[in-house]
Structure 1
Amino acid sequence: MTVMLGLDHGLAQLSDLAPRGYALGLHIRFAAAHLMIQTYDPRWTQRYTENGYMLADPMVFWGFGNNGTIRWSEIDLPDPHNIMGQAADFGLKFGIAVTTGPTSSRTIGGFARGDREFTDGEMEKIQALVEKLHEQSTPPDNLTPAQRMALRLIAKGSRHAEAAALLGISESALKARLRAARERLFVRTTAEAIQRAQEYNLL
């Protein structure tokens, strides 16, 4: 999966630049991300999720109102739940927020260190990577008729051999269509492809 490999390479570079982890929501639409990647301490991620902190996170709030990059220490917004202070307890003491894209399909990321502030050069590198990942992961506006029909048959419960027979193609040709649909939708499994296609009204 060429596209996914490209994404994986970019995400690996982000891990190198943010030793305490990151959270990256690519193409957030209707309060849900097309792709969500988190490498923070799992205990912090669990607390953050269980308490619904995303709705009150000053970094996220800044991200929806701005484009660009800023150090967490420079975000001058209310933090009534002390989210930034709690994050520091899990080693996320210094960080940056990076945002790109239109408000209708915004990408927002938080990147953390435990030892020092990010340098200007590191911030520029992370921003460039986020912008590239945003571009690479743009959700498709459509699937080909062949991809759509293959996914529909599998979604209705047909096995590969049965779906191939119904379409009058070989099983290997069916699998190629499903693989192409997965790549187009930036997912790893056919089940995920069906779910994603349904979410975007592509079936």
Structure 2
Amino acid sequence: MWRDNETYETLHKGPVSGDARRPGLEAGFDALARVAPKGFSAGLHIRFASPMIYMRTYDEAWTKIYDENAYALRDPLVFWGLGGKGSTRWSAIRLPDPFNILGQAREHGLIYGAVVSYGPITSRTIVGIARDDREFTDEEIADTVKIVQDLHIAAAPPTELTRAQKEALRLLADGDRHTAAAAKLGISESAFKARLQSVRVRLGARTTAQALKKAREYQLL
């Protein structure tokens, strides 16, 4: 497993956000890297226009241009992925591209590609893969669909916390220390710590601070 996000990003030569080290994701990202010699972009569980986990390994110069121009808001591949589920080659997409995003991508070696969209619109996963020598075969796209499905499942966030768990996190978010928070709840400090431990387990967090961050990201508070 990666020691931290910086290490993961260095090895994969691209930006990473969210809990990309969750069990099952590392193998999925490695599988995408093998099928996509010119890199990939994976936004897992996109909610309110933002993915909970994001991994990208495209050319660094292209990545810089893409981010500086906010192309994620204008990318026909993203629009296609949000518009429905399935898979297709980039060359088959007939959506408008007024900023010539796909044309600019080709200048950076992303000549041929495919996009896979999976999951409900309220928590959509969209993955793009690229190469520079030929179109992806039907078999390669089918393999990518399976990888994306596995990544989507592995990255699925918890759907709820108990009322007691939410109360504990909200008090910490308000700045209370353990002793004060426990007093407000009318429980012992050890019982309060036990609640926090249950939250960490539920959210797969190593620390309470990370659990609080994840709860906010998952919109559980």
What is the TM-score of this pair, normalised by structure 2?
A: 0.76
1: CA distance, partners of 2:24 / 2:98? 39
Please say if residues 147 and 181 of structure 1, whose CA atoms lie closer than 8 Å, have aligned partners that are also in contact. Answer: no
2: CA distance, partners of 1:76 / 1:188? 45
Gaps of 5+ in 1: none
Please say if residues 169 and 196 of structure 2, whose CA atoms lie closer than 8 Å, have aligned partners that are also in contact. Answer: no
- 2:123 aligns with 105
Matched letter for residue 108 of structure 1: I
- Which of 133, 137, 141 is the aligned partner of 1:115? 133
1: CA distance, partners of 2:51 / 2:206? 16
- 1:48 aligns with 66
Q: Does 1:68 align with 2:92?
A: no
Give 3-state SS (helix, strand or coil) of 1:96's partner. Answer: strand
Map 1:88-99 to 2 at 5 A.
Answer: 88-99=106-117
2: CA distance, partners of 1:124 / 1:46? 30
2: CA distance, partners of 1:53 / 1:178? 37
1: CA distance, partners of 2:90 / 2:216? 36
Aligned-pair Cα RMSD in Å: 2.9
1: CA distance, partners of 2:137 / 2:121? 27
Q: 1:178 to 1:42 in 2, by over 3 A?
A: farther
Give 3-state SS (helix, strand or coil) of 1:169's partner. Answer: helix
**Structure 1 residue 43, shift from structure 2 partner:** 2.2
1: CA distance, partners of 2:28 / 2:181? 36
Q: 1:99 to 1:167 in 2, by over 3 A?
A: farther
**Structure 1 residue 83, shift from structure 2 partner:** 0.4
Gaps of 5+ in 2: 2-20
Matched letter for residue 31 of structure 2: Q
- 1:180 aligns with 201
Q: 1:20 to 1:162 in 2, by over 3 A?
A: farther
1:94-135 deviation line (CA, Å, top 9, x unaligned): 110100112222111111112221111110011011012112
Please say if residues 94 and 117 of structure 1, whose CA atoms lie closer than 8 Å, have aligned partners that are also in contact. Answer: yes
Aligned residues: 199
1: CA distance, partners of 2:109 / 2:44? 24
Please say if residues 52 and 217 of structure 2, whose CA atoms lie closer than 8 Å, have aligned partners that are also in contact. Answer: no
Matched letter for residue 87 of structure 1: A
Please say if residues 93 and 114 of structure 1, whose CA atoms lie closer than 8 Å, have aligned partners that are also in contact. Answer: yes
- More deviation, 157-166/36-45: 157-166
What is the TM-score of this pair, normalised by structure 1?
A: 0.81
1:18-40 deviation line (CA, Å, top 9, x unaligned): 12111111121221112211111
